[in-house]
Amino acid sequence: MVKIKESSVKSFTIHDLPFEERPRERLVKFGEQALSAQELLQLILGRGIAGESVVVTAQKLLSQFGSLQKLAEASIEELSSIKGIGLAKATQIKAVFEIGRRLSTQAPPYKSKELTDPKKVYQLIKSKLKDYHKEHFYIIVLNSRNWSIAEVSVGSLNASIVHPREVFAEAIKNKAASVIFVHNHPSGDPEPSEGDLVVTKRLVEAGKILEIEIVDHVIVTKDKFFSMKQKGILS
């Protein structure tokens, strides 16, 4: 999309564009995916202010914060400091990003048997773990009818933090037939460490005593995952 210098577009508005090139009309015709970030912001903001069109205001927002991620993280005060963004528009922007965040964290409606697929486990839990700066260990408890997720520990995986007693307490309480272990690697490398392997072996042995099947241990990062079941580590 062509960038327009603020100094030259004081009177330029969306209505100066050909009808079929306006953001709303393009969204209706081609879908929301066809619009640029700037065009989407124009639709959220609705209109500009006296002497400045919404085209310029949307472009200023992206220039000021550098990316949609940074824009989403901006406070009401930071947004309101931009010319053309008052309290009303700042709250509109925050509301839109919050809806997106909540949608991304909603658990997909998987059935228990579907979670034997590590890819589905990753899709289920990645939004919970992707932004953590410490390792978080979760257990997914499975039975014939449903499933649940519980956080067990926070911190580097080792035998003192991840103890079978705490790990299997949730499984026993919910009469689990099987469980899946999941934890994140903030480093971005999903390969298991020596500590991960030691802890997993200990948990598998405990599961055999309790007659609770360990379906998998999945390590997740922001955009990758490692399945110990797929790699034959659990066998």
Q: In what order do the strands lie in the sheet with 178-184?
A: 147-154, 136-142, 178-184, 213-220, 225-227
* Contacts of 55 by beta carbon, 8 Å cutoff, 6+ apart: 4, 9, 12, 13, 14, 38, 42, 48
pLDDT at 88: 92
Domains defined for the chain, CATH in brackets? 6-105 (1.10.150.20), 112-227 (3.40.140.10)
Query: For tokens 């999945």, what's the residue?
Result: 218
- What is the 8-class DSSP label of residue 150? E
Q: Which helix (H) or strand (E) holds 42?
A: helix 37-45
* Inter-residue contact 234 to 217 (CB < 8 Å): yes
Q: What is the distance between the alpha carbons of residues 3 and 178, in angstroms, rounded to a whole number?
A: 56
Distances (CA, A) of 16 to 3, 12, 32, 62: 15, 6, 21, 22
Burial of 188 (0-12, 13-18, 19+ CB in 10 A): exposed
pLDDT at 7: 45
Where does 52-181 have alpha helices with state H? 54-65, 68-73, 76-80, 87-105, 118-129, 164-173
Below-70 pLDDT ranges, the chain = 1-12, 104-110, 130-131, 156-161, 235
Residue 92: Cβ within 10 Å count:
15
* Contacts of 60 by beta carbon, 8 Å cutoff, 6+ apart: 6, 82, 83, 84
pLDDT at 6: 45
* Contacts of 87 by beta carbon, 8 Å cutoff, 6+ apart: 76, 80
Q: Which helix (H) or strand (E) holds 9?
A: none
- The verdict on pTM exceeding 0.75 is no
| Residues 36-83 pLDDT 10s | 999 999 999 988 888 888 888 999 999 999 988 889 889 999 999 998
| Residues 101-117 pLDDT 10s | 777 666 556 677 778 88
